[in-house]
Structure 1
Amino acid sequence: MTEPSDGSVLDATFESESFDRISIALHWIAALLIVMMFVTAWSREAVDHDTRLVSSLMTAYRTTGVVTWIVGWVRLVWRYNFAYLPPILENMSNLQQWVAKANGLGNVLFRGRSFSSFIWETRSVHHHLIRRDHQSARNLRRFALRRPTAGSRYPEGPAPHPITVTGPAAAPLPPACLALWWWGPRGRKNTMPFRTVVLIAASVILGISKKVAVILEALDFPKIDPVARSTLQRWVYRADKYFGGDRGDILLTLRAIVESEGNGPDALLDPILRAVHSVCRPEWTNRGIDWIAAFDRIDLRALHQQMRDLKMLHSV
């Protein structure tokens, strides 16, 4: 009579000190999925990256990762709602108990592995993904900061489509305004209030417009149309922003306005200015008057006519 009693007590004691079967099954499923993730990751590093097998391994890795996340959340829900948890050892201090609970919760959230292995796997397997994400973020910031002056700063690039405001003082929004929009105080839709952006842009635009007017009055320049004036304002802003008000850049713009029919419907200022700047070497920008003299050696009329003959400007 004692043996069955002793056996039942031992069975009860054994059952009370172990997890339930579903918890154990979920644990081993997560462990197998983690092993599969490591195998696919190591296999991807071992094969040639130019083969189609790499794409298949990466797909298998991501799929296994998603399934592991799902199993991890199922474990978490089961653990805190239905699972049988063996009692914590009585000789453990409160600090050790909290560390054990935090470690168990962290391992569930980190797909069942330790934090160190998660960091290792992130750096080795997802290194190219993280680098691509960072590059995308940098490109987005560069787009926000430099796109309004892309055609002037990068002559080899496509024709610019500056963000302008209508009216006699039409000029592109400066990169500073977009920088404030990008990093400034965030509103309900993660942007600055439109009124704030308009006020900032207007203050800069009026300053550039006034400077252009002063230049034209000082040079006794003939009246130009709004399109040519807008181009001049854009290039004056570029000169102030990047070259501290370079006189050669402004004079080149004025020459281009006069010599490329800047006052007529066939004004082709941007293509000519970009073409001229593309042949100017950087050292010229550091020689002041020599840089202006280099501009004078460029035959704008011949360049203009050659571009027309090649039918490069038919879309303007």
Structure 2
Amino acid sequence: MRTLSDMTTVALAATDGMLQFELAIAQEVFGTGLPGFTGSWYELTVCGPAPVKVGRFLLEPDHDLGRLTRADTVIVPGWADLDVAPPPDLVDAVRAAHEAGARVASLCTGAFVLTAAGLLDGRRATTHWAHTDLLAARYPLVEVDPDVLYVDNGSVLTSAGKAAAMDLCLHLVRSDHGSAVANTVARRLVVPPHRAGGQAQFVTAPVPDQDDHPLGGLLPWVTERLDRPLTVEDLARRANMSSRNLARHFRSATGTTPLRWLLIQRIRRAQELLERTDDSVDAIAEATGMGTATTLRRHFNRTVGVPPDSYRRTFRAGSREW
């Protein structure tokens, strides 16, 4: 059984017909080193038949598909022609990698490869919203969720299209190295540091920062005051709009409600403090506006899936330095 600290090798499963944007995202996130990072960064390899035609380009893989079984994480980029079944050798290699213990993640329509390999039977999954109906019809054993950015089933993960593929890649980095490192990668790529997997796919501006956007000045103002007991009325007053109007803008911009967005920001701040400080849970609860350790533990466990103390031990056990 691989542990989080073992997740260092990433293999891209490449073959003719892959979408180049999703493949490039994975290469950029996992294949580019992070200056100043002293831990073990990912060792990226591209596996596939030689050469691979990706869009108008030819890609020369490092190894054949059989090498996928030696990777800790296998990334399956989007599959372009959904009228054609994925190549059997690709499907077999992805299945074999998962059976060997690899964590397998699909980007966009790469979910069709995972379903062909039987990895999503009985599991919740997603793909690009335009193809969720087809995925559900073609593979009735899969619980297709068309309204999320990505789904994490532990050893099998799926994402929606394009930008959501980046969200999933950053989620993997966050799972392996913590929020601080994932946020640094996001800053390097000039993308939002975190969008929760359960966020809706139809989001016009995940983190609006334009000066003329109704929430442009509000969100930074809130994140600087997470230690305070802010209410929806406080946010509406700051934005100079009614609570109902605020909720409408939040839903359009972030895909969620003001209270849910605020809670997620508090949880993310708590994660960073747990990873990077020795502050007590009581102190972190106060610093994140949760009030008490009991409240923080309840919301943290519900959102992250583990208690704050267990989360801290996980990221301290890997001796990650940043």
- TM-score calculated relative to the size of structure 2: 0.25
Structure whose alpha-carbon radius of gyration is higher: 1
> Hey, which of these two has a bigger chunk of strand by percent?
2
Indicate the structure whose relative CO is greater, using CA pairs within 8 Å and at least 6 residues apart. Answer: 2
> Hey, which of these two has a bigger chunk of helix by percent?
1
